[in-house]
Structure 1
Amino acid sequence: MVALLVLALVLVVTGLLPTHDASALAGRTAPVLGFVVAITIVAELARDAAVFDLIAQRIGRWGRGRVLALWAAVILLAVVSTIFLSLDTTAVIVTPVVVLLAQGVGVSPLPFAFATVWLANTASLLLPVSNLTNLLAATAIGTNPAAFVALSWAPALAGILVPVVLLTLVHRRTLFGSYTAPPPRAPGDRVLFLASAGVLLVLLPLLALVHDVWIPASAAAVVLLALFAVRRRHALRLSLVPWQALGLAAALFVIVETAHARGLAGLLSPLTVHGHGLGELLRVAGLGALAANGIDNLPAYLVLEPVAGGDPAALMALLIGVNLGPLITPWASLATLLWHHRITALGITIRWRSFMLWGLAAAVPTVGVAGLALAAVSN
């Protein structure tokens, strides 16, 4: 990452990225990166307040000993977390919570671990806040979240249902079993827990309703930072800020923008979409999926954005590819690498060959069905 940051700095300082392009890029990406920082702080502090742990415990008790009911509740948690708090929150925070829950009640954690990493990616299409790529495309797709959702709801539904159905069928022997519900436990600081949960309850609907999502996210982060400064000061640490993700995103923004300014957009012009036909939408989605699995989903979106020609339906097709498609290679999504680090720390071994084969089996039908869904709602 350091090398990418140095390269980005050189591109700006030497003028290889023209000043007016750099200014426009800063104006476009500053609110996006600000939201990433704010929502990460909110999610991390909510975890420190045991909000996610208590939710998992309640889920364990609501299942009443039926693994299938526990599975459905975990799927709902992963979907809600991804949609409102972004895919990295699901990969980093929800994954260890549900894996430890499964281990604690004597159920194989494997289907739950796969559910969190797949849904972290495939459930990240519904709202602009669900994925950094969505935030980049949101303005061109519509002036408010409703315009985005009008195109995203059907493919987003496909992105949730197809992987869940596949996982349920593959792990049916585990999921149609039983378990012993865990005993109830109280949070260490009830005031901190209730206040943090309240902040999340207020924030989530605002993220779906307002255009400038960095504003309510920043306000929530400030409230929680003040609360923790009073009741748990030691939890306030510099690592709350996602420095690595922030630096990587900023560097990629500069590098790809420089490439476009120096002629990349012209080279991609033969790939530009023509019309809203099913074939065109599937072609763009397929390009996005291939690029994401080759070079990671964020640079894949940035590189291919001109292919959509500013057309909302084509941009949504590209988002289908780069959001729902990166299930195959380990580097296709930063969320996947973060997820792998978490589950390895919990003693779960995932062989990348097996991961990639199952990812291929899931990605192809998921992207295909989502593309069909988009064609149905956009024409």
Structure 2
Amino acid sequence: MPTAISLLLLLAVLGFAVVRPRGLPEAVGAVPAAVLTVVAGLVPWRDAVHELGDLGPTVGFLAAVLLLAYLADRSGVFRFAGAVAARWSGGSPQRLLGIVFVIAAAVTAALSLDATVVLLTPVVFTTASALAIRPKPHVYACNHLANSASLLLPVSNLTNLLAMSAAGLSFLGFAGLMALPWLAVIAVEYVILRRFFADDLATPPHRPPVEPVPAPRFALAVLGVTLAGFALASPLGAHPAWVALAGALVLAVRLRVGLPTLVRKANPGFCVFVLALGVVVLGVSRSGFGTLVDRVAPHHPDLLGLLAMAFLAALLANVLNNLPATLMLLPFTAHSPGLVLAVLLGANIGPNLTYVGSLATLLWRQILHKSGHPPVTGEFLRLGALTVPACLIVGVASLWVSLRVSGL
């Protein structure tokens, strides 16, 4: 009975987050579920409070980086990126795809996957349309790289921040181990998307005039300093949330953005949702389902163990969503850096298989629906079936090499 109740609560929370009836925030469904988890005795209230305390700094970073991405957009960073892509592509669909890959990978790594989905995707769509290029390959690239290119830095994805402390790695240590898998996965994504969308990319180049957009030098400098601050904060024992908040405040003062707008753009409702979700997932982890996951999860960070953990994380991400999957699997990694990073490979790459794999993919789907060019489900699934297994295998092999070189 406890297992059934905990799973029903989790599925109800995720279903509410996907549907969002009447546009209500995700927290409206998650908070009552978290309260029921405690009231039903699935999680003692002291443990629930402890879980909230553990998640607090990570959720604080989420709010700060959402704010930083919004202010970067207000400063014209994404418009500038679109203008650069249009100019450098020369109207070539193939060249534009390569440029979009570079920009999307950089934005995802530095500003998190949400910035790529919410802010970059509309710019890429507009840029491709202005060049009379079929935008489908390029907007699909934004979605895939929002997930799979979020492997590089702890700040690239909420799942990464959760895992960094579990792995006991510094900011630079994390980046050093994930650099090779990040590059390898992006290369596989590019090769597969280039072949999958060959017909869309075969249209002849069209060179319409591109209106120049001035570089937002101040904003770009702030983002660069903020990214450097992430690397410096870890050895000093400072949480990256403070660095992201400092960068956001500098841009806010420059742009004269009011406090109510800053609070709204930090998306407190979604932050509360993540906190409540953590309590609900804790209830699932302590149930019979958690025991089952513990039995099937590998406990040795050899090549086969890493591969099994990555595919298990990908499976759970597409069943439960990647954030609950990460929260559930991290306690079963025995604080092994290799197994923790294998969880991230599965949780970050796996969501490219289905719409429900990550909240970012659901947001991307909503954006395309609003643009009047919704993704075709069959096409989305076929592309995911090609990219996800290939990226997981290449990513795990690259991670295994990185671990052997580092001696971990």
Same fold (TM over 0.5): yes
Tell me the residue number matched to 2:273. 248
Tell me by how many angstroms 1:89 deviates: 0.8
Q: Does 1:373 align with 2:398?
A: yes
**Aligned equivalents of 1:245 and 1:338: distance in 2?**
13
* Cα distance between partner residues in 1 of 2:162 and 2:38: 21
1:319-371, Cα deviation, whole Å (9 max, x unpaired): 11110111122111101111111122222131212211211111111111111
Show the counterpart of 2:125: 99
Q: Structure 1, unaligned stretches of length 5 or more?
A: none
Greater mean deviation of Cα atoms: 271-280 or 287-296? 271-280
CA deviation vs aligned residue, 1:187-246 (integer Å, no higher than 9, x gap): 6xx9xx4433332222123234432211110101222222232xx659936531224432
Q: 1:225 aligns with which of 244, 252, 268?
A: 252
Task: Give, in whole Å, the separation in 2 of the partners of 1:18 and 1:234.
Answer: 37
- Paired residues of 1:60 and 1:182 also in contact (CA < 8 A): no
Tell me the amino acid that sits aligned with residue 203 of structure 1: T
TM-score normalised to structure 2 length: 0.85
Distance of aligned partners of 1:13 and 1:223 in 2 relative to their CA distance in 1, 3 Å threshold = farther
Query: What CA distance in whole angstroms lies between the structure 1 residues aligned with 2:30 and 2:390?
Result: 34
Distance of 1:132 and 1:66 partners within structure 2: 35
Aligned equivalents of 2:189, 2:381: Cα separation in 1: 14
1:197 to 209, 220, 226: 220
Residue 90 of structure 1 aligns with which residue? Answer: 116
Of 170, 181, 190, the match for 1:144:
170
Are 2:71 and 1:45 aligned? Answer: yes
Cα distance in 1 for residues equivalent to 2:315 and 2:123: 31
More displaced, 340-349 or 232-241? 232-241
Q: CA deviation at 1:3?
A: 2.4
3-state SS in 2 of match to 1:180? coil
Does residue 207 of structure 1 match 2:220?
A: no
CA contact (8 A) 1:285 1:320 kept: yes
Distance in 2, matches of 1:26 and 1:131, equals 19
- What aligned pairs does 1:350-369 form with structure 2 within 5 A after superposition? 350-369=375-394
Question: Structure 1, residues 248-297: CA drift from partner, whole Å, max 9, x if none?
Answer: 31121111123335665544332242322221111111111111111110
- CA distance in 1 between partners of 2:286 and 2:156 (Å): 28
- The residue number in structure 2 matching 1:296 is 321
Query: Which residue in the other structure is 1:71 paired with?
Result: 97
Q: Tell me whether 110-119 or 149-158 shows the greater mean CA deviation.
A: 149-158
Cα 1:206–1:172 shift into 2, 3 Å: farther
Counterpart position of 1:343: 368
* Letter matched to residue 182 of structure 2: A
Name the residue aligned to 2:139: 113
How far does residue 186 in structure 1 lie from its aligned partner after superposition? 4.4
**Aligned partner letter, 1:219:** A
Identity of counterpart residues, as a percentage?
34
Change (3 A) 1:310 1:264: farther
More displaced 10-residue stretch of structure 1: 275-284 or 17-26:
17-26
Select the residue among 270, 274, 278 that pairs with 2:295.
270
1:171 Cα offset (Å): 2.4
* 1:113-141 deviation per Cα after TM superposition (whole angstroms, max 9, x unaligned): 11000000000111111111110010122
Distance 1:25 1:301, change over 3 A: same
Farther off after superposition, 159-168 or 273-282: 273-282
Deviation at residue 27 of structure 1 after TM alignment:
2.9
* Paired residues, number: 373
Deviates more, 1:261-270 or 1:168-177: 261-270
The whole-number CA distance in structure 2 between the counterparts of 1:134 and 1:199 is 23
Query: Which amino acid in the other structure matches residue 24 of structure 1?
Result: H
Aligned-pair distance for 1:159? 2.0
Could you tell me which of 121, 127, 149 is aligned with 1:123? Answer: 149
